[in-house]
């Protein structure tokens, strides 16, 4: 640790000098120790660390959102959407900056405490993890060159490095939120838990991670032959699910639950020990010992194409009575008249209310759950590589 301290002080100055103004924070050795020992929450609690304040642009142009309590007594869903967040990335001459979009749905159950905690902490924890892991990458680079008897600020810039930092930051953020909330739950006798479905988008690519049964999907333009159409060729938005639900009866999930001593019982739907209808979640501390985990599944970074029109994140209430394809049909303008679900386009008076249209259609079809959705139009700005 002493060696790290000496090298760390040198690189901390370098880091502060070359970071953009948005992230010109000195990462002290004592603060790095707090981070390594206790994660994001330890940094924010430590008197050795500066009181950082992160900022993000919130706008409706790239985030169309809607929530509805539905037929439940309480609204336990929480959503966040930050279309333009400035994050540090490593350029050839050291830390640079880039714009990142972040959106997430947290579907709470057994109370709102877990979803509330996740929505409140996610952005700050995620950005802190990005900063610290970028710093560590810079420190590692500096040490390698010094051991080789040379010193250079030139980096070999690659997508893999930046994407790896962002993915690691996401995983650590969920881990920290779950750990912090679990302790609060023990202290306050909370029984609540929450799903988490998160989408990051940067430079024409997206990353999707989830735990639980909220969904992320992609609506992409596809042209197909239709013999009933006058023109024969019909264009629609085709749905592709980007997440897999974590239900207790999914083969791999069931194996883990049973190996931990839990059982999967069908009470309406498959449930862990006859209680919880998801096998991965934030919180749910009473079922952690029976195989319920807070480890997200992450889809590899994916390039968007000019045919990819919308990314949608929705709580499971949206999909209780509608399929992913129904959602994409709504975004296409409710023009899938052959669809037996008969989308009601009266809920869609303008493009600005597309999210409301999805929520109102789900409610009108009889969904009994809380309803929350985020619609992210994939504009050319999102698809172009920078």
Quick: pLDDT tens for 313-359. Answer: 999 999 999 999 999 999 987 444 444 445 565 556 555 489 999 99
The predicted structure's pLDDT at residue 274: 96
Q: Residue 96: which residues within 8 A CB-CB, separation 6 or more?
A: 20, 88, 89, 90
Give the pLDDT score at 22: 45
∠ Cα 163 164 170 (to 5°): 90
pLDDT at 20: 41
Residue 129 has pLDDT above 70, yes or no: yes
pLDDT exceeds 90 at position 230: no
Q: Does 18 map to a domain?
A: no
Over residues 266-285, mean pLDDT: 97
In a domain, 95, yes or no: yes
Examine residue 382 and state whether it is found in any structural domain, yes or no.
no
Distance CA 44, CA 173 (A): 13
- pLDDT (tens digit, 9 = 90+) per residue, 369-383? 999 999 999 875 555
| Listed residue (367, 376, 278, 279) closest to 319, CA to CA | 367
Distance CA 211, CA 298 (A): 9
- The pLDDT value recorded for residue 159 is 64
Percent of the chain exceeding pLDDT 90 equals 59
Domain total in the chain: 1
Contact 240, 308 (CB under 8 A): no
CA angle 9, 5, 93 (to 5 degrees): 40
User: In this structure, is residue 126 part of a structural domain?
Assistant: yes
229 part of a folded domain = yes
pLDDT at 251 over 90: yes
pLDDT at 77: 97
Q: What single DSSP character describes residue 69?
A: -
Cα–Cα separations (whole angstroms), residue 379 to 201, 263, 375:
11, 45, 12
Confidence grade of residue 111 (pLDDT, cut at 50, 70, 90) = very high
pLDDT, mean over the chain:
83
Largest CA distance in the chain: 76
Of the candidate ranges 1-15, 75-89, 94-108, 299-313, the one whose mean pLDDT is the lowest? 1-15
The top-scoring range by mean pLDDT among 22-26, 51-55, 249-253, 379-383 is 249-253
DSSP-derived letter for residue 366 is T
pLDDT at residue 13 in the model = 41
Does a structural domain hold residue 90?
yes
Does residue 2 form part of some domain?
no
At 380 the pLDDT is: 52
DSSP strands (E only) in 304-370: 308-314
Closest CA to 315 of 71, 107, 63: 107
Mean pLDDT, range 360-376, rounded to an integer: 94
pLDDT at 318: 97
Per-residue pLDDT band for 44 (boundaries 50, 70, 90) equals confident
Rounded Cα gap, residues 135 and 344, in angstroms: 51
Give 151's pLDDT tier (boundaries 50, 70, 90). low
Secondary structure of 258-300 in the HEC alphabet? HHCCCCEEEECEEEECCCECCCECEECHHHHHHCCECCCEEEE
The band of 158, judged by pLDDT with boundaries at 50, 70 and 90, is: low
Task: Name the range with the highest mean pLDDT among 9-18, 168-177, 336-345.
Answer: 168-177
* CA–CA distance, 149 with 22 (Å, rounded to integer): 33
Residue 315 covered by a domain: yes
Which is more confidently placed, 39 or 170?
Answer: 170
CB 151 within 8 A of CB 143: no
- Kindly report the CATH number assigned to the domain that includes residue 208: 3.60.40.10
Domain that holds residue 81: 29-147+154-240+304-337+351-377
Q: What's the predicted TM-score (pTM) here?
A: 0.86
Q: Please tell me the predicted confidence (pLDDT) of residue 1.
A: 41
């Amino acid at each position: 640790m002493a060696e790290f301290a000496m090298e760390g002080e040198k690189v901390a100055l370098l880091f502060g000098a070359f970071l953009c103004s948005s992230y010109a924070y000195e990462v002290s050795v004592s603060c790095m120790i707090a981070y390594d020992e206790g994660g994001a929450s330890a940094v924010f609690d430590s008197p050795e660390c500066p009181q950082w304040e992160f900022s993000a642009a919130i706008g409706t142009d790239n985030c169309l959102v809607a929530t509805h309590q539905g037929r439940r007594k309480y609204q336990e869903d929480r959503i966040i959407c930050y279309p333009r967040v400035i994050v540090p990335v490593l350029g050839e001459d050291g830390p640079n900056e880039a714009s990142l979009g972040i959106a997430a749905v947290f579907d709470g159950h057994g109370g709102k405490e877990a979803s509330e905690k996740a929505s409140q902490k996610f952005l700050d924890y995620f950005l802190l993890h990005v900063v610290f892991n970028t710093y560590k990458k810079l420190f590692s680079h500096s040490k390698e060159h010094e051991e080789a008897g040379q010193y250079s600020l030139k980096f070999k810039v690659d997508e893999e490095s930046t994407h790896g930092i962002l993915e690691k930051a996401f995983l650590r953020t969920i881990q920290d939120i779950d750990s912090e909330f679990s302790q609060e739950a023990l202290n306050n006798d909370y029984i609540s838990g929450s799903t988490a479905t998160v989408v990051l988008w940067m430079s024409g690519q997206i990353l999707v991670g989830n735990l639980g049964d909220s969904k992320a999907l992609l609506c992409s333009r596809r042209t197909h032959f239709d013999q009933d159409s006058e023109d024969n060729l019909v264009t629609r938005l085709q749905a592709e699910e980007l997440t897999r639900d974590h239900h207790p009866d999914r083969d791999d999930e069931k194996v883990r639950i049973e190996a931990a001593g839990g059982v999967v019982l069908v009470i309406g739907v498959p449930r862990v020990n006859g209680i919880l209808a998801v096998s991965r979640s934030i919180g749910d501390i009473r079922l952690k010992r029976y195989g319920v985990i807070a480890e997200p599944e992450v889809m590899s970074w994916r390039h968007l194409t000019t045919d990819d029109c919308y990314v949608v994140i929705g709580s499971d209430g949206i999909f209780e009575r509608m399929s992913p394809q129904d959602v994409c049909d709504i975004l296409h303008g409710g023009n899938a008249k052959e669809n037996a679900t008969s989308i009601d386009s009266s809920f869609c008076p303008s493009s600005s209310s597309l999210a409301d249209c999805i929520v109102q259609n789900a409610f009108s079809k009889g969904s009994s759950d809380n309803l929350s959705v985020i619609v992210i139009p994939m504009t050319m700005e999102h698809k172009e590589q920078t």
